[in-house]
Chain A
């Protein structure tokens, strides 16, 4: 079974600075997807970024980028120019490309933005 680990329960960053959230996963599959979801105080789950395992290029979405290290099974999220609206819980998630389509989530990292 796949597992996702987020070892940082809480992180904080000064507004306009850069922060990196860590995620590692365990799987025996070679083809899969990785995601970062954001959950603000409203509790809505919002997709931040997605990475296909077969792509070597790291995904980027505006101020959000990932560092995907397939051999190390690591998938970190970098947020540049942090804004107050980035304050939320961030969940790393894994999904098989060929088997069960469920998302397996990590335990989340609570990100605080310091004005």
Chain B
């Protein structure tokens, strides 16, 4: 158990819908990262938040957005879902830039 929690574990929805994925980092970790793992794109960095502020953006679509709240949990919002958005979405956290990232169990999103 990494100490990072993600909910829900599985999500099945239809094209065009909007979903929210939630992540709680390890106690004390200020940085949260979101990654997408899909069959065709592999593991890709989406976005990073540090203490409530966006710090870095990766290959995140405009239909996707994220935020980090004062209690440091983070949410990834995916809207206008397409079949290609079906993937495993990971959240990771770290206490400072020199330490390793600890991953949550992931949320498996299936878009039908």
Q: Tell me the A residues contacting B by CB distance below 8 Å.
A: 33, 35, 37, 42-47, 50, 91, 97, 100-105, 107-108
Closest residue of chain B to A52 (Cβ to Cβ) is: B98
20 contacts between A and B (CB under 8 A): A37-B103, A43-B108, A44-B106, A45-B90, A47-B102, A91-B43, A97-B98, A100-B56, A101-B55, A101-B94, A101-B97, A102-B45, A102-B56, A102-B58, A103-B43, A103-B45, A103-B101, A105-B42, A105-B43, A105-B44
Q: A35: which B residues are within 8 A, CB to CB? A: 100
Looking at A33, A35, A43, the one whose CB has the most chain B CB atoms below 10 A away is A43
CA distance A46 to B44 in the complex (A): 16
Q: Tell me the B residues contacting A by CB distance below 8 Å.
A: 2, 31, 33, 35, 42-45, 48, 55-56, 58, 88, 90, 92, 94, 97-98, 100-103, 105-106, 108
Main secondary structure of the interface of B (DSSP, over half): strand
A108 touches B42 (CB 8 A): yes
B42 touches A43 (CB 8 A): no
B105 touches A43 (CB 8 A): yes
Contacts A43-B88, A91-B43, A107-B42: A102 and B103 contacting too (C-beta < 8 A)?
Answer: no
Q: A37: which B residues are within 8 A, CB to CB? A: 103
B106 touches A43 (CB 8 A): yes
B106 touches A101 (CB 8 A): no
CA distance A37 to B102 in the complex (A): 10
Q: B105: which A residues are within 8 A, CB to CB? A: 42-44
A101 touches B100 (CB 8 A): no
CA distance A59 to B2 in the complex (A): 21
Closest residue of chain A to B58 (Cβ to Cβ) is: A102
Q: A100: which B residues are within 8 A, CB to CB? A: 48, 56
